[in-house]
Amino acid sequence: MAVTGAVLVLFLIGHMLGNLKIFLGADSFNGYAEWLRTAGEPALPGRTMLTITEIVLVVAVVLHMWSAVSLARRAARARPVKYAARRRSQASGYATHVMRYGGIVIALFVVWHLLDMTLGVVNPEGHAATPYDRMVAGFAPSRWWVTAFYVIALVMVGLHLRHGVWSAFQTLGLARGRSHRPLRALAGVVALVLVVGFLAAPVAVMIGVIK
């Protein structure tokens, strides 16, 4: 879980920083999107870096979900008789719900997001438009419900990250003694920075700062 989660977090940091280029203007954003497709050319064929990224992402997502299911099964086998009383720290509590149902919302979001921004199927500008135009059309004020869905999905991503990063620290044995509190806070900061950084562009488009 921790290794595939780390791969996904690194992707999210890179993706968020790339999205923020939209604040530097259409040329900067489209130039960056073009670079993603042409990096390594002419030594390497076009889309090499993007294709490798896509393969790594698909493998990481599949293994991440597989680990989640097998860990949940192992936990259920280890404790076939349910606890009579629930405590906040138990596996059946808040964190499990956030990770399980939040994970499902995130998976649905990624499907919509790819249809919207990568394939252009559900985007008013379609696939032929530039990435900048797809962003501006996708989050237009009349499509406020799309931005609302992004906000909900990104809050889920944030909660998922906060718990996931914290769990990874524990798995690595780092969160002991005095490092407990600062690392917990760090997990919260990582999640918050990513959520705010991701939502900046859609919100800026919706309120007309980017057009």
The 3 state secondary structure assigned to the chain is CHHHHHHHHHHHHHHHHHHHHHHHCHHHHHHHHHHHHHCCCCCCCCCHHHHHHHHHHHHHHHHHHHHHHHHHHHHHHHCCCCCCCCCCCCCCCHHHHHHHHHHHHHHHHHHHHHHHHHCCCCCCCCCCCCHHHHHHHHCCHHHHHHHHHHHHHHHHHHHHHHHHHHHHHHHCCCCCHHHHHHHHHHHHHHHHHHHHHHHHHHHHHHCCCCC
> Would you count residue 61 as binding ligand HEM (CB under 6 A)?
no
Among 9, 57, 68, 122, binds ligand HEM (CB under 6 A): 57
Q: Name residues contacting ligand HEM, limited to 66-105 (CB under 6 A).
A: none
> Would you count residue 117 as binding ligand HEM (CB under 6 A)?
yes
Give the range of 68-76, 83-91, 110-118, 174-182 binding ligand HEM by CB under 6 A.
Answer: 110-118
Give the range of 38-46, 49-57, 92-100, 161-169 binding ligand HEM by CB under 6 A.
Answer: 49-57
Q: Where along the sequence are the contacts to ligand HEM (CB under 6 A)?
A: 15, 19, 33, 36, 50, 53-54, 57, 106, 110, 113-114, 117-118, 131, 135, 150, 154, 157, 198-199, 201-202
